[in-house]
């Protein structure tokens, strides 16, 4: 029995060291795998949110173009003015996002205007030929204007569609509150958020309306600069920076999706502090397991190191 105890003592310490090493290695591997899986899942969620938002906005503006195109046919201009006015009124009823419609002739003079906010005007002959909406619509058939803000609140954009050749243009003032609603609904994890910039890097939709109304220029942010440089949309997040905070900019994991029709870009950012939180959580769990393993090993070594007292020989 004494020899068995001595042999066990010699085997216990190496065995325990081997077990502790295995626990340590397994904990490190688990921490790394957990962090990588979390990063992959969060990046996939960011990408899905960005693509869903861009597709909804793209569908929204394409539907606006289709609806306005109904009153932008060449033959529509041959209708009597009252019929044209009626068609404009009907379009306003069908598409709540459209606030005002105006028909310009081939020389850019206003022939008809129907609005939700003002009285209808017929044959005003106001010269609007120098407006970019008129000029660009004649050149490209469709013009998507710059986002503006009425009474420092809701966003608007002018959409202009030519009637064909130089027959004139229909201008539609459209409310883009739908775009804001889409962005406000973008949430990833606890602190992830979405926003939109135009082709010049100007912020046009964000959870913080004050930043939008100030016309914040985000072109210097790494993620926006990379998009404006013409790089293709990547499946992998890129490292970017936060904006609008009072303190120093923090690092974010940024994913983007493009809105081709408007030349806008949807970004979904996740602060690095949240992704690192999963890493630290895994590290803590691994550390606890390691400590428990070391305590168990210490107790086992202490038990094995106790001196063995041979039993006295039996007396007759």
**Residue range 173-220, pLDDT digits in tens:** 999 999 989 999 999 888 889 999 998 999 999 988 888 888 889 999
pLDDT tier, 29 (very low <50, low <70, confident <90, very high otherwise): low
Count other C-beta atoms under 10 Å from residue 104's C-beta.
27
Tokens of 270: 């996740």
Tens of pLDDT, residues 34-80: 656 667 788 888 999 999 999 999 999 999 999 999 998 888 888 99
Q: Can you give the pLDDT at residue 244?
A: 78
Q: Can you give the pLDDT at residue 236?
A: 81
Q: Can you give the pLDDT at residue 293?
A: 64
pLDDT tier, 248 (very low <50, low <70, confident <90, very high otherwise): confident
Q: Mean pLDDT throughout 3-26?
A: 61
Do 78 and 210 lie in one domain? The reply is no
Question: Could you tell me if residue 315 is inside a domain?
Answer: no
Whether the CB-CB separation of 269 and 49 falls below 8 Å is answered with no
Question: Could you tell me if residue 4 is inside a domain?
Answer: no
Alpha-carbon span 26 to 23, nearest angstrom: 5
Do 107 and 185 lie in one domain? The reply is no
Q: Can you give the pLDDT at residue 191?
A: 87
Do 154 and 76 lie in one domain? The reply is yes
* 225 vs 285 pLDDT, higher one: 225
Whether the CB-CB separation of 196 and 204 falls below 8 Å is answered with yes
Question: Could you tell me if residue 205 is inside a domain?
Answer: yes
Show which of 155, 176, 197 is a domain's final residue: 176
* 246 vs 270 pLDDT, higher one: 270
For 220, the domain range is: 37-60+179-273
Burial 262-297 (b: 16+ CB within 10 A, else e): bebbbbbbbbeebbeebbeebbeebeeebeebeeeb
User: Tokens 């900019």, residue?
Assistant: 249
- Find the helix or strand (DSSP H, E) in which 2 lies: helix 2-69
Q: Can you give the pLDDT at residue 117?
A: 87
Phi, psi of 259 (to 5 degrees): -115, 95
Show which of 141, 176, 211 is a domain's final residue: 176
Q: Structural domain tally of the chain?
A: 2
pLDDT tier, 21 (very low <50, low <70, confident <90, very high otherwise): low
Tens of pLDDT, residues 263-309: 999 999 999 887 766 555 666 666 666 666 666 666 665 665 555 55
> Per-residue pLDDT for 246 more than 70?
no
Do 189 and 201 lie in one domain? The reply is yes
* 230 vs 169 pLDDT, higher one: 169
Strand, coil or helix: 274: helix
Q: Can you give the pLDDT at residue 176?
A: 92
Q: Can you give the pLDDT at residue 273?
A: 82
**Between vectors from CA 249 to CA 185 and to CA 42, what angle results, nearest 5°?**
45
pLDDT tier, 89 (very low <50, low <70, confident <90, very high otherwise): very high
Show which of 149, 176, 203 is a domain's final residue: 176
Q: Mean pLDDT throughout 163-172?
A: 89
Do 227 and 242 lie in one domain? The reply is yes
Tens of pLDDT, residues 106-164: 999 999 999 998 899 999 999 999 999 999 999 999 999 999 888 777 899 999 999 98
Question: Could you tell me if residue 10 is inside a domain?
Answer: no
Q: Mean pLDDT throughout 213-236?
A: 85
């Amino acid at each position: 029995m004494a020899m068995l105890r001595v042999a066990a003592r010699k085997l216990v310490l190496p065995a325990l060291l081997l077990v502790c090493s295995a626990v340590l290695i397994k904990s490190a591997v688990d921490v790394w795998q957990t962090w990588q899986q979390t990063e992959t899942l969060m990046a996939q969620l960011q990408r899905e949110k960005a693509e869903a938002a861009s597709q909804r906005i793209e569908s929204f503006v394409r539907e606006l173009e289709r609806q306005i195109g109904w009153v932008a046919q060449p033959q529509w201009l041959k209708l009597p003015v009252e019929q044209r006015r009626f068609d404009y009124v009907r379009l306003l009823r069908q598409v709540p996002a459209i606030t005002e419609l105006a028909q310009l002739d081939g020389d850019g003079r206003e022939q008809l205007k129907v609005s939700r906010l003002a009285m209808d005007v017929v044959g005003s002959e106001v010269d609007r030929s120098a407006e970019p909406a008129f000029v660009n619509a004649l050149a490209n058939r469709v013009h998507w204007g710059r986002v503006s803000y009425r009474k420092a609140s809701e966003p608007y954009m002018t959409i202009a569609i030519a009637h064909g050749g130089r027959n004139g243009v229909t201008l539609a003032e459209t409310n883009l509150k739908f775009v804001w609603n889409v962005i406000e609904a973008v949430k990833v994890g606890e602190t992830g958020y979405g926003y939109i910039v135009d082709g010049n890097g100007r912020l046009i939709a964000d959870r913080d309306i004050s930043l939008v109304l100030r016309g914040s220029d985000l072109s210097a942010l790494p993620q926006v600069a990379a998009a404006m440089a013409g790089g293709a949309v990547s499946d992998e997040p890129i490292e970017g920076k936060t904006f609008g905070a009072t303190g120093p900019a923090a690092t974010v994991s940024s994913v983007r999706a493009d809105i081709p029709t408007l030349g806008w870009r949807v970004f979904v950012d996740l602060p690095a502090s949240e992704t690192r939180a999963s890493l630290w959580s895994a590290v803590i769990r691994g550390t606890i397991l390691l400590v428990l393993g070391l305590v168990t090993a210490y107790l086992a070594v202490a038990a094995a190191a106790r001196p063995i007292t041979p039993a006295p020989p039996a007396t007759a």
